[in-house]
Every structure is written in C-alpha cells, then in structure tokens.
Amino acid sequence: MEDRARKACIKALFLFFLLIVPLTPSAGLSNTSLFPRYEPERIYYFMDEPVISASRFRQPSSQAPSTVLVVTAKMIRERGYKCLVDVLEDLPGFDIERHIGGQAGGTYVIQRGLWGNNKLIVLKDGIRLNPENGSNLVYGKQLSLGDIKQVEVMYGPSSAIYGADAYAGIINLITKNVNEPKHLEMEISGGNADSVEGHMLVQVKPTMDSFLHLYVHGFGSKGFDLRDIYRGYHYHDPVHGKTRYYNSDQTFEIPETDWDLSIKAGWKNLSFETVYLHTRQPTNIAAPFTTGRTQSSKDRVELDTWNFKLTHRLPVTDYLDAVTMFKGQIYRMDPHSRYGRKQFNNYIYERSDMFGMEEQLRYSYERGKIIGGLDFKRISTMPYLNSRTPFDRGDTYRDFPVKEVITSQGKHIHVGPFREYNYWTYGLYVQANHHLTGRFSLFAGARYDWETFTHHDSFNPRTGIIYTVKKGETFKLMYGHAYISPSAYFRYKAWVDNNYAHLPPSVFGQSLDPEKVSSIELSYSRHTKRLFLNVSTYVSRSVNSIQEAGRFFRNVFLVTNKGGEKATVEIADNTGRLTNFGVDIAASYKFSRMATINIGYSFINSRQHLRGHSFDGPKISSHKIMAGITGYIGSHLSYNLRCRWRSEIHSSPFNTVYHGSTIPGIFLVDANLRWIDLVPGIDAHITMKNLLDSKYFTAANESGDPTNGASLPRVPQDPFSLMVGFSYRY
C-alpha cells in the first residue's frame, strides 16, 4: 500500500510540473499585491541580507569579510527543511554523510574538504552549541528550525574572531524577532517509519522595552529497517576472507528521539538566552553490516547540552558601545549509553562544564567600525571512556579495564586513574573594517589565544579587501587562519575492545600540537531584483592534522584485573597534511511569482598527504550539483522540487576494503508542497525525500580514516520518506 501511494505521489508531482512550468511567464498571475505574506523575497536564494556572523555586527553580506550564504525562514518553509542538515545538503561546498551514528556525530558535515564535526562551530544567536570539551557536535533533529529567521553559513577559517575550533567556518542560527504583542506558531507532522515531529513558538512583548521568546521542538522515529531494505547487497572483506551480505536474519532497530528548547527574554539593554539540546541516536548503524551482530535499541548514545548567555549592552557614547556577556554550558552523555558488541557491552560516558565571560567594545566612525574584546572560560571535563558495566552516576571510572600496558620492548606503563581535568582559556581579539573610498573597503583582524590545559598559544590573523564594482556587484580577496586545540577529547579519550584499544597519547610519552589551517579565497557576487550569483574559489592547507588513530603500538599486552591479553593500541597523533582547492557557485533567478530557479555547483580537489602517500581526501566527492524550482500557484499553493547529484565518494588507499577506490555517487530528488490558509491561519504541507526511492550508501564512521578504514566501510541510507503535517499561526 505504501509503495503504491509513493508511486502515485511521484506521478502526480511530475505531471504537476509538466503542466505548470510552461506557464511561468504568464503575466496574468504576476500581480503579487494580494499575497504579501507569502511572496518570495526580492531574490530567492542567498540574498544580500544583513548578517552578523562574519564580523559580529550587522552588515550586508556583500560587504562582510567572508563568503556568507543566507537561508531565510521563507526558504525553510517553502522547501520543508526540518533541521540544519536539510539546509546544508542544498548548499555548495558541503559533503553530507548521514547515519554514521550518534557517537561519531550523527551525520558527518564536511565543509570544503575539512572533515570532522569538531571543525565547524554552530551557534544559535551567538551561543556556541558544540561541546566545549572538543567532542563532535551531533547533527540530529535537535538542531531544528521552527523559530529561525535565517541561517547564516560563513565559509572559511574564523578563529581570528571566534577562537578555537572555528576551523572550516561558522553556522549561526538567528531566531525570529519579537515584533508583536502576542504571537503563536504551532506545527505537527507525521510519516513513515513511525516518525512524528512538532514544535511550538510563543512570543510575547508586554512593553516596548521587554520581550519573551519560548520555543520547544520534538522528534521521534522508529527508523527504517535497513537490513531488510538492503537485503542481498554485499562486498568482500579481504581482512577476514568473508563476503558480507546485507541480510535481515538478525534484529535491526535504529530509533531516534530528539528535542530542543530555546528561551529568550529581554528588558531594555539586558537579555538572557538559553538553549537546551537532547538527542538519543543509535551508536553506529554501519556496524551490523560488518560485524554480523544485532542492532539493538539499547545500543545508543544519549546526550544533553544546556547553554546559557546573559548579555548587557551599554551605550557609552554615540560612537562607542560596551557589551558584557556571561556564558555557560553543561554537557552530559548519559552513563547508560553503550556501544554494543557481540560478546559484551561497552558503556560509554563523558561530560564537561564551562563558565566564562566576554567583554567587548564596539566603536563606529564615519568610514568604518572597530570591534575588540577579551574572552575567557573555565572548563571542567571528564574524558570519553568506556566500561563493561554502566557508570555510577557518570563519575566512577574504577571499571576502566586497562590498568597497565607492557610494550613489545618489555616496558611497563601504568594507566589511570582517569580524573576530572580543569583548565582556563583566554582570548584577546580586535578587528577593523574601513572604507578607503566609495569602492574599496579593507578589513583586518587577529586573535591571540592561550590555555592552561596544554600551555599552547595560537595567533590567528585574517585580512582582505572588498571592491564594489557597482551597487550589488562586488569582488572579495580574503585570507584567514584557524586552529583546533588538542582538547581533552583528543588527549584523554580511551576505550577498549577484546584485542584493540585507544589510549591517551600521554601513556606512551607523546603530546599533541594544535591543528592549523590557512586559506586564501577570491569571490565574486552580484545581486539584482531577479538574479543572485556568487562564485568563490579557494585554496586551503591544513598541517599537524590530529588523527584519532594516528599512531599504532602493536604486540603490546593490556593488563587488566583478569590478566593480560595481546593487543594493538592506537593513539591520537599530529600526522600528515591536507590541501584543498575548490570552486563553489550559487545562483538564483526569479522568472515570475510562479517560478524561481536556483542552482549550486561545487568542485574540490582534496589531497591528503600521509606516510609518504598522496591521495584524494577521504569522505569527499569531487563534484556536486544542486538544482531546484520554487513557486506559487494562485493564492493557496506553493511548491518546491529539488535534486542533488554528487560524484563518487573517495576512500583512503589504507582502506583494506576499497584500497583507495570510491563509493558510488548519488542522485536524489526531494519535494515539498504547501497549501496556504486552508482555513485562516492554518497551512498544510507534504514533504517527500528520496522521491525515486534510490538505494545508496555514504561513507561510514571509519571509511575515510587513513589508519582503520576496513572496519566500517559504508552505511546504507533511508528509502523514500513522507511527512504530512499542519501548521497554525496566530
């Protein structure tokens, strides 16, 4: 029944577009005065909107010292985007690998070849959502969009203004303004795989000087039975001399539960914001296809993150403002989270707390602005560890199995006990934007960071020039630098399998240095009433890359309470370098109210240099194309149809399954229909993903790791999915 319904939907959609597209030039329907609330923006895609992410003050994106693409609330509604990953899939410069498992980040989000979910900072109204201990941000449905006015996606190294981890870029989720005395939005939807999702937004403005913003969102899904869907798919595993089949003879459960809460309140120059994120996801969906074990709903990771910020703005003079910010974060992994094995269970845990303060001065003058500040944080963290039994309230590490390591040379090394680590980070930054003439603008900035954990310091500059050819047409030449600090996650993460372990580098007398990247970018953008075009070309180079499995110690003995066993131990290490060269193109043209076309294209040549080898950057596709059409029919219907194509996904020559070959590319089609004002204030929508019901794979957790690529080579993806829902606005 579901398959017939899906095919009927596909046929109806394509017939609909065959009938509608030839009518797009029609002048009879071009009068938009009757529909101001739902009319697409002046230019539909990546407008020259005011942004704050690039400089931390408002400026047109064309004048921002970075390439910044803007996705607005109307685009989110028209396309049926539900979470941040949905947005990023349609942007140039991103490789998205879904279903890698919550422990590894939920979904890999790779910007311009710099892979690792710790290399891209996600903010909500300037509040950092990434864990402060350096762990991966998990991209799930908890990064929802129901209260978002616009998503600002900033490309390029940004440590000059944001400090550590602003490596590949910045994503800032800007919430909707509180403009009315009372405002209410609600939405509920459901679909196959027993998926249910909903949110509610309440905004109140009691006086001209005060406001309240309350948003809550939830998502739950049973998940698709991928073992059954991918029955018969196989590959040969030369390590064990076996052919792995994707069969359905064992349990396969991958439920997901996510929810988030945002509260903002303000009075005059004082505001308070808090963001709570909760996600519960399977630990690794690819594992059952390579190990033969079951995928139980108990094999999951559950994470909670609370973020707080208190801000006071003080106008000192007409030209000078002082901004004081107190901020904090509480990050927890549930102590019953586990990564199951066929023989035993591995329970996993980590946590961190942060409290900090930032003092910022903003000076405006006739030809520009200067911003500077001091930022410091105190971080307390327990590292990522595992145990054969659940952790006692998350703070007992006596059960960590390894007590001693005996090297192949006979050296005895004591391990543990693992303890809480406390350290401070300090940052001092300044940035200036100056208009030389009516056409030329210069920007320059730098930040100095130092932390007491590793006693490393880092200096990160950025500079560039913006040339305005004419109104709406600009060139930018930009240089930037960024770094990843060797955080507690990299320095002290530890886990143990039967004959394999990951231990801190310090056990073997090793240390880690900051991972650094520098980038040069040239971009051109043009905005008119109907056309938007942005072309960016860039070169980036990463050195001292921190690999979680960067070095191996073989034929060592792991001594536990039960005796010793021969094993291989991996440690994190600074190893190799990565060079990326690429081109990103984003374009949009509005023919009429009935049709706006948007196109995106990315090319990247990513080269990894490691152990005397040079090879294509793993987890990366060289070519990606995004295309879509959006429009309005009459007064009650909007439509969107879009497709994505990506070339083959590269693997590493050290991958014993693929030996540097590729995972096949993909072609996907999504659609969204929205009926406006079925009754006053109520809309209905149908969101369809993977309309062609393609069966395809993306890179899994270890498929791109140049040291351990054989274990989890690829992960199957979801089939056709359908969500139907209603929204209400008051």
Give residue-wise pLDDT tens across range 600-629: 999 999 998 877 788 888 889 999 999 999
Nearest C-alpha neighbor of 104 from the set 140, 65, 69, 72: 140
* Range from 216-225, 234-243, 335-344 carrying the lowest mean pLDDT: 234-243
Q: What is the CA radius of gyration of the chain?
A: 26
Q: What is the mean pLDDT of residues 338-356?
A: 83
CATH of domain 2-22+40-723: 2.40.170.20
CB 625 within 8 A of CB 598: no
Integer Cα distance of 150 and 314 in angstroms: 26
Measured over the CA atoms of residue 203, residue 206, residue 207 and residue 209, the dihedral's sign is negative
CB 629 within 8 A of CB 40: no
- pLDDT tens-digit map of 395-406: 656 667 788 888
Supply the pLDDT for residue 149: 95
Residue 18 in this model has a pLDDT that exceeds 50: no
3-state secondary structure of 452: coil
Q: Taking the mean position of all CA atoms in its chain, how far away is CA 694?
A: 24
Q: What is the mean pLDDT of the chain?
A: 86
Residue 133 in this model has a pLDDT that exceeds 60: yes
Residue 10 in this model has a pLDDT that exceeds 50: no
* Range from 364-373, 523-532, 563-572, 625-634 carrying the lowest mean pLDDT: 563-572
Integer Cα distance of 450 and 453 in angstroms: 9
Phi-psi group of 611: left, alpha or beta (phi > 0 → left; psi -120 to 50 → alpha; rest → beta): left
Nearest C-alpha neighbor of 30 from the set 628, 528, 632, 597: 632
* Range from 44-58, 60-74, 317-331 carrying the lowest mean pLDDT: 44-58
Residue 595 in this model has a pLDDT that exceeds 80: yes
SS (H, E, C) 56-83: CCCEEHHHCCCEEEEEEHHHHHHHCCCE
Supply the pLDDT for residue 398: 65
Both tokens assigned to 282: 């399977």
3-state secondary structure of 659: coil
pLDDT-derived band at 676 (thresholds 50, 70, 90) equals very high
Integer Cα distance of 615 and 613 in angstroms: 6
Both tokens assigned to 418: 């693992």
Place of tokens 């950057």: 617
pTM of structure: 0.91
